[in-house]
Amino acid sequence: MSMSLGLVADSFLALLILGLAVWTIAVRGTYAAVVGFVAYGLLVALIWVRLAAVDVALTEAALGSGLMGLLLLRAVACLPPDAPAPASGRVGRVALRVVVGVLCAGLTAVLAAVVLQLPEPAPSLAAAAAQALPTTGLGNPVTGVLIAYRAIDTLLEAVVLVLALIGLWSLAADGAWGGRPGALRTREPGAALVLLAQLLPPVGILVGIHLFWTGANHPGGAFQGGAVLAAMWAIVLVAGLAAAPRVDGRRLRLVLVVGPALFFAIGLAGIWWADAFLGYPADWAKPLILVIEAALTLSIAAALGLLLAGPPASEPGPGGQA
């Protein structure tokens, strides 16, 4: 009975999400599309919960819907207001759309064919991953995969975040290099927003640390915790309670690289300790993983916050205020 109720819920969610996705793509107004995207991210998080993948749901809610929504809304604010969507009509555009449409349809067909041709018990490493989990000292298999079995992927992801930030900073004007990012600052935040920015961060920092800490044994981890911390930083910047740091600050850069650097260093040491790059010595696996996760949380929070804050926009003068 519970099965059928679940099936109704899943079918309903799937239809809802498809409808919202199509509408988000088809709608003309940029703000309307972003609002649709934020709602879409919430529904995707619900779907991940229905699939019992709470780790992914947490990431989707924090990054996909929360921070991406913030980023897209700020991006829309930078677009000229009276050009909601690129004007169509030229033949080249129509041809381009047809080509893109055909390619997307082809990709969808190939993916559908692959899914349909999967063997009945789909190939899975889940059993092997769960079996080896005790050697890591962790209770959450997702964290086991991210930090132990496939640590190289996570290391590269952490590095990519720093590279993305360098890419963003390189958009700064020459005169602004070394200054403070200003994309999140608002002129008149208003009393309600300031109150929110004062009340929310203490709770949010606690939740962020909780997500990182609980990630060892339950859904959560460095990316989810870091995203929440970055969001708290962003609200403080939006409300003007603090200025974004100068991008040439030594301490800021140290925070940015400490996660990937420590991860890499411990991975290198693994060559001697555990006979493999990114291997952990048996008795030390869990403390080392926790140290790496803590440093990663800090670096991810800083990188995501700075990605939201935008490229440096003000002269790096001694005052450096605006």
Partner 1 sequence: MTEFLLGAALFVLGTVALGLIRILRGPNDADRMLAAQLLGTGGVAVLLLLGVASGLGAVGDLALMLALLAAFASVAFVTGVARPQHQPKPVRDPDPLPRGDQA
Partner 2 sequence: MSLALSVFTIVCVFLGAVFFLAGTLGLLRFPDTLTRLHALTKADNLGLGLVVLGLLPQVDWPLGALKLIAVWLLALLAGATVGQVLGGAVRPPPVSGAGESTP
Judged by CB under 8 A, does residue 7 bind partner 1? Answer: no
Binding mask 203-242 for partner 2 (x = CB under 8 A): x---------------------------------------
Instruction: Pick the closest to residue 269 from 146, 114, 151 (CA basis).
Output: 151
Task: Quickly list DSSP for 6-41.
Answer: HHHHHHHHHHHHHHHHHHHHH---HHHHHHHHHHHH
Residue 11 φ/ψ region, left for φ over 0, alpha for ψ in the -120 to 50 degree band, beta for the rest: alpha
* Residue 242 neighbours by CB distance under 10 Å: 10
| 243 binding partner 1? (CB under 8 A) | no
Q: Is 167 in the site for partner 1 (CB under 8 A)?
A: no
From the list partner 2, partner 1, none, which binds 246 (C-beta under 5 to 8 Å, kind-based)?
A: none
Contacted entry of partner 1, partner 2, none for residue 59, CB cut-off 5 to 8 Å set by kind: none
Closest approach, Cβ 207 to partner 2, in A, equals 9
Per-residue contact flags (x/-) with partner 2 for residues 163 to 182, judged by CB under 8 A: --------------------
Show contacts with partner 1 in window 214-233 (CB under 8 A): 214, 218-220, 224, 228, 231
259, interface contact from partner 1, partner 2, none, CB < 5-8 Å by kind: none
Indicate which of partner 2, partner 1, none lies near residue 103 (CB less than 5 to 8 Å, by partner kind).
Answer: none
DSSP helix/strand/coil, 123? coil
In a 3-state reduction of DSSP, which class is residue 181?
strand
Interface with partner 2, residue 2, by CB under 8 A: no
- With binding defined as CB under 8 A, does residue 238 bind partner 1? yes
Residue 1 beta carbon to partner 1: minimum distance, rounded to whole angstroms: 7
Taking alpha carbons only, the member of 200, 149, 145, 162 closest to residue 296 is: 162
Nearest to partner 1 of 69, 305 (CB atom): 69
> Which among 183, 209, 234, 202 is positioned nearest to 77, based on CA atoms?
183
Closest CA to 263 of 154, 145, 133, 163: 154
- Residue 213 engages partner 1 in binding (rule: CB under 8 A): no
Question: How far apart are the C-alpha atoms of 140 and 130, rounded to whole Å?
Answer: 9
- Number of chain residues interacting with partner 2 (CB under 8 A): 11
Cα 225 to Cα 230: distance, rounded to the nearest angstrom = 9
* In the complex, least distance from residue 290 CB atom to partner 2, rounded to whole angstroms: 21
What are 181's strand-pairing partners? 312
Residues 185-204 that bind partner 2 (CB under 8 A): 188-193, 195-196, 199-200, 203
